[in-house]
Amino acid sequence: MAHRGNQARCPENTLAAFRQAFADGIDILETDLRLSRDRAFVCIHDASVDRTTDGSGAVAAMSRAELKALSAGCGRAGFEGEKIPLLEELLAIFPAEPLLALELKTDDFLVPAVVMRLHRELSRFQLLGRTLVLSFSFERLQAVRQAVPELPTGWITGRRLWPRPQVELHGVFWPLLLVNPLYPLLAHRQGQALCPLDPDPDRLLPLYCLLGCDAVLSDNPAATRPRLERWRRLHALIHGGGGAD
């Protein structure tokens, strides 16, 4: 799972980062979702534009035109022309194979009308069946489940030591797996997948394969993917199959 695209090679959450991740052969693209002042879906992690653009101010206080006028190059040479993407711009270039994971960053997604508008946008680009929504807020996921039951949900946690019901994926802060290495097994018994919350996973790939994690998150999928494949093959040789997908 590419974390905000390939942000090792490109500025995070930009079309350049997304395209690079697609070229890396990822299985899932993760990005963050907020709403502009005029209610456009925009792909940006922070509540303000200060860290990742040449502007200043709250995302929610700016229109899509104001946001698109900024450079999202994070000060990196050669990327000055990158902009904050609208969700529809990402969906328009989305390849046929990968899945899309949208992290819902605000309580706007507690509003059924906002969730239904997201449903329509995903449906318009025929990506509803390949999208899951993620959040640290279980309430946001419940709101999505109530409005669009067919949209899978993933709960991100840095505290809970065992899986909770009513989600399809657990994004678990990786040290919790050291405290409770049975976490993936317990999730699988409930029909759920597990992906460690670890954007620099390469050093722990053997552990994630051994525990049976279903996916790994990475800031640099170009580097992580071949290493993961090697550990998966080794794990399959030793244990006769299985491992992280």
- Name the residues annotated as catalytic: 3, 45
**Distances in whole angstroms, Cα of residue 22 to Cα of each of 3, 59, 61, 187, 222:** 12, 27, 31, 28, 10
Alpha-carbon distance of 153 to 131, in angstroms, equals 9
Which residue stretches of 85-127 are H helix?
87-92, 112-124
Alpha-carbon distance of 97 to 234, in angstroms, equals 26
What type of residue sits at position 175?
P
What type of residue sits at position 38?
D
Residues constituting the chain: 245
Residue indicated by tokens 């025929």: 126
